Structure 1
Amino acid sequence: MKDLASIKGRIQNWLDRFFPEFLDVFRDWEGKAALFSLQHFPLPSDVQTMNAEQIVEAWRQEIKRSVGIQKATRLLEAAKTSIGLTTGLSMARKELQLLIQQYLLVLSQIDELMEQLEEFVSQIPGSAHMLTIPGVGLATVAGFLSEVGDLQRYDHPRQIQKLAGLSLKENSSGKRQGRTRITKRGRPRLRALLYRSVMILVAKIPEFKALHAHFTKRSVNPLHKKQSLIALCCKLIRILFVLGRKQIPYDPAKLQGALRQVQLQEVA
């Protein structure tokens, strides 16, 4: 993953130097039409040797989804008004070709690794049920299980919470009562994995978004955003633990029901 990020950064740097207007035409250089363009006519001077119809025809050689004449026209206009470097273009073209080859190679290696990972994880009891949580993917489940091991070893999800360093402690001395924080005495990779997963869940999954909003906006003891995310990490541990141990699919109604119950208790 670090290699991929490095290559993508170098390609972005190349665009900044030689064709900074390229991403005004394409939102993402990794899209099919954009990547094809970088492979076949990457420089503004390359684009200017063509007209809009020729660009569209070139795209259609490899891209099934129709790419319109308007985008081709915009690319041509961007090339004509580009402020990119105009020296060393031969080496620049070769540099980009090499970077794209490396990019495609790493992508293929990641795809192969993910296939092997999927086959391995599918053999672990309960893993398929853990994958029924929306927003939780193969890499998350595999990372969780690699850090935690056999779920049957644990009697309660709090043991995994402690393993992740998410147990609470109070920083107090003498008469001073300090703030309550997590211990961080555990596996940092597991803690980071859970935190990243929860960030995605809070952004995309309605029931987690609602729970986060409740934690941060409730009238009694509202949590700071980071505190809420930590609480949701613990919630995710409990959900993964139950699904993996009992081998049952994720049920969003149960999480929503638990939230409603808490809200009713607060009103009462």
Structure 2
Amino acid sequence: MLTLTEQRQALETQAAAYLSDNADFVRLQTLPGVGPIIALMILAESGDLRRFSHHRQYLKFCGFNLAASQSGNTCSRYRLGKRGNARLRYAYWLAATVAIRMRENSFRGKFERYRQADPTNADLKRKALTAVAAKMARVAHALIKQEVDYRGYHEYGIPGGGTALARP
């Protein structure tokens, strides 16, 4: 167990050493739940996120798009497509798991709102975690595309000239 921890730490230091000058690598780490290894996974599997003109294209690439299973005239419920990159989907799943365990951020708020109807339902928990992972992918795409860092509770301008906190 100790050797795995040492290997993980060595990988983190190597990733930070090689990619510390990469703006996308540093920007991804501003997301809650994304550390050096997950940021490395996202960049390695996605390539340049700027090549996706819309976040829906990126979500489809990740496999977070919804798809209906149809046969003849019958149409079942919509489910996760899962036709995209499984390793990338797994990276966002891990990041979402860490983010919802953090004290306060918008991802945890989305998770709590999603599970509010029945907190003991395991299926609803899985769906909520998937929704948070998809939101993280959308936010990561926006961060890279717009070249801004993540701000959890951003401020917006009031018409009178002051600032106020946006709702989480």
Q: TM-score range by the shorter chain?
A: 0.7 to 0.9
Spell out the pairing of 1:79-98 with structure 2 (5 A cutoff).
Answer: none
Q: What residue in structure 1 maps to residue 150 of structure 2?
A: 250
Provide the identity percentage.
26
- The normalised TM-score by structure 2 is 0.78
Q: 1:197 offset after TM fit, Å? A: 1.1
Q: 1:175 offset after TM fit, Å? A: 3.8
Out of 109, 112, 126, the residue aligned to residue 213 of structure 1 is: 112
- Secondary structure of 2:34 counterpart: coil
Separation (CA, whole Å) in 2 of partners of 1:211 and 1:232: 7
Out of 109, 128, 131, the residue aligned to residue 231 of structure 1 is: 131
Q: What residue in structure 1 maps to residue 92 of structure 2?
A: 194
- The normalised TM-score by structure 1 is 0.51
User: Cα gap change, 1:257/1:170 in structure 2, threshold over 3 Å: closer, same or farther?
Assistant: farther
Residue 171 (structure 1) aligned with residue 69 (structure 2)? yes
- Deviation per CA, 1:14-62: give whole Å up to 9, x if none: xxxxxxxxxxxxxxxx7xxxxxxxxxxxxxxxxxxxxxxxxxxxxxxxx
User: Cα gap change, 1:112/1:227 in structure 2, threshold over 3 Å: closer, same or farther?
Assistant: closer
- Deviation per CA, 1:113-133: give whole Å up to 9, x if none: 322211222232332122122
- Secondary structure of 2:67 counterpart: strand
- Deviation per CA, 1:132-164: give whole Å up to 9, x if none: 223210111110000000122111222221111
Out of 11, 15, 31, the residue aligned to residue 113 of structure 1 is: 11
Q: 1:172 offset after TM fit, Å? A: 2.9
Amino acid at match of 1:213: E
How many residues align structurally? Answer: 154
Q: Looking at secondary structure, tell me which structure has more helix per residue.
A: 1
User: Cα gap change, 1:209/1:119 in structure 2, threshold over 3 Å: closer, same or farther?
Assistant: same
Contact 1:170 1:179 in 2 (8 A): yes
Separation (CA, whole Å) in 2 of partners of 1:168 and 1:257: 29
Separation (CA, whole Å) in 1 of partners of 2:108 and 2:25: 24
Q: What residue in structure 2 maps to residue 3 of structure 1?
A: none
Q: Looking at secondary structure, tell me which structure has more strand per residue.
A: 2
Q: State the structure with bigger RCO (CA 8 A, min sep 6), 1 or 2.
A: 2
Contact 2:32 2:95 in 1 (8 A): no
Question: Is the radius of gyration larger for structure 1 or structure 2?
Answer: 1
Contact 1:126 1:246 in 2 (8 A): no
Q: 1:110 offset after TM fit, Å? A: 4.1
Separation (CA, whole Å) in 2 of partners of 1:116 and 1:180: 41
Q: How much is the aligned-residue C-alpha RMSD, in angstroms? A: 2.6
- Secondary structure of 1:224 counterpart: helix
Q: 1:111 offset after TM fit, Å? A: 3.5
Separation (CA, whole Å) in 1 of partners of 2:116 and 2:14: 43
- Secondary structure of 1:172 counterpart: strand
Separation (CA, whole Å) in 2 of partners of 1:134 and 1:163: 22
Amino acid at match of 1:188: A
Q: What residue in structure 2 maps to residue 141 of structure 1?
A: 39
Separation (CA, whole Å) in 2 of partners of 1:109 and 1:206: 30
Separation (CA, whole Å) in 2 of partners of 1:193 and 1:257: 28
